[in-house]
Amino acid sequence: MSPDNNSPLVIILSGQADQPILSKGAAKAGFSVHCIASSKELPEALAKQPWGLVHNMRSFEPRQNVLLQQRLARNQRLSSVVRFVLSPDISTSALALVADCAIRQIFNLSSCMSGNLGEQLAVLKKTDSSRSEAQTLVHSQRILQSENPSQEYLNAVAEAYQSYPHDPIIRLEYAMTKFHNGENNEAGLIAKRVLQVESHNVRAMNLLAKVQFSAGDLDGSLRILETANKLCPGNPERLTLIGRVHTTKGDLTAAKKAFLEALDVYPPYPSARQGLLEIPLDAAEVEATVHILRDVMSEKDRAALLNKSAIQAVADRKYEIAIRIYGYALTHLRENELKGSIFYNLGLAYKKMGDSASAMANFQECLKLVPGHPNIKEHIADLESKSVI
């Protein structure tokens, strides 16, 4: 059905078999409707600036549903789009996804297939229209403001809490601000109260785990995070927290796994990148990291990551790993200066291995790309003085 400019637009992401009934139900309540059958069509559809997005989870694999909502929740441009999901059953995992991804409402698919999707959307649209500006901001921005909340957001939470202390979302965000201000005990108490009412609220679990982590209870924090992760996998913030707990415990293998999983879901996530780069990586992990971050990391940053990892491998006398990483870097970097730096460091690695011929060859390659590279002539002279003529 073609969108009507005079009525709110709803995008329906659903398999084609369910589209006619869902579309008809929404249109009957006065909504314009645009149906799509694949998440690949979302960018073009969302450019139409819809009021709402309805996601029929029956049409896709469970992991696809989770990853899509986790990514949509972190897209700043979509913070004003109200998201809904349709599910064949309202399971604990489905409710956890709603809490985790700031989804406005979950509807029973069978009910919507009876033709009343539009009626339910209209009721919620009317309810939301009565919200204050501060309450609206908190509801729409809460995922984006999880780690480093702006002062504007903190002020909005305080204002909204004064008027809506029983709104569970406002209440939990108020607890988040308490944690942000160092009032951990009160933050933890509020999180526990939320969980008494909503045992599926994995966002409250995240906060409680942060409180436990800050108190030094690493095992308690990890138990909470792993429970939440089973209910709703794929949350990059939670996976990053898991990585940080494992890092603190000294289990770097588990930490790297968690950080890589977080970045696989959402590559731009800064805390996961930072956590991963603080840990020595082997060649395969470096390659996986660069691959995941290829669209969000500059070539200079990729070169720095590769160089850092290879230099650490050389320091640990893991020369084969270092050479593999440098080889990977040369394949994926394009700028002459960056490639020259890789050839230089590769030459140093071979020199430490005692392979003078390979060291010299790489130093010469460096000079071709960066003729004025500092220190390289000194190394070449050293190699030449040791060569047997």
Residue 2 has pLDDT above 70, yes or no: no
Give the tokens for residue 213: 């982590």
- Return the pLDDT at 118: 96
Q: What is the pLDDT of residues 10-49, one digit of tens each?
A: 999 999 999 999 999 999 999 999 999 999 999 999 999 9
Contact between 126 and 115 under an 8 Å Cβ cutoff? The reply is no
Across the range 320-331, mean pLDDT stands at: 88
CA–CA distance, 103 with 98 (Å, rounded to integer): 5
- Which candidate, 73, 13, 67, 17, places its Cα nearest to that of 44? 13
CA distances from 102 to 75, 95, 99, 114 (A): 12, 11, 6, 26
For the four alpha carbons of 76, 78, 79 and 83, in that order, the dihedral sign comes to negative
Across the range 341-370, mean pLDDT stands at: 91
CA–CA distance, 11 with 163 (Å, rounded to integer): 32
pTM of this structure:
0.82
Give the tokens for residue 204: 């409250």
Is CATH 3.40.50.2300 the right assignment for the domain spanning 9-130? yes
Q: What is the pLDDT of residues 132-187, one digit of tens each?
A: 999 999 999 999 998 889 999 999 999 999 999 999 999 999 999 999 999 999 99
H/E element holding 219?
helix 218-231
CA–CA distance, 266 with 323 (Å, rounded to integer): 29
Residue 121 has pLDDT above 90, yes or no: yes
- Return the pLDDT at 285: 82
Contact between 212 and 184 under an 8 Å Cβ cutoff? The reply is no
Q: What is the pLDDT of residues 196-223, one digit of tens each?
A: 999 999 999 999 999 999 999 999 999 9
Residue 1 has pLDDT above 80, yes or no: no
Q: Which fold has domain 132-231?
A: 1.25.40
- The number of helices, as runs of H, and strands, as runs of E, in the chain is 21, 5
- Return the pLDDT at 318: 87
Across the range 56-60, mean pLDDT stands at: 97
For the four alpha carbons of 281, 287, 290 and 291, in that order, the dihedral sign comes to negative
Q: In this structure, what are the phi and psi dihedrals at residue 35, rounded to the nearest 5 degrees?
A: -100, 140
Give the tokens for residue 207: 């906060």
Q: What is the pLDDT of residues 289-317, one digit of tens each?
A: 888 887 777 888 888 888 888 888 888 88
Mean pLDDT, the chain, integer: 92
Domain boundaries, the chain: 9-130, 132-231
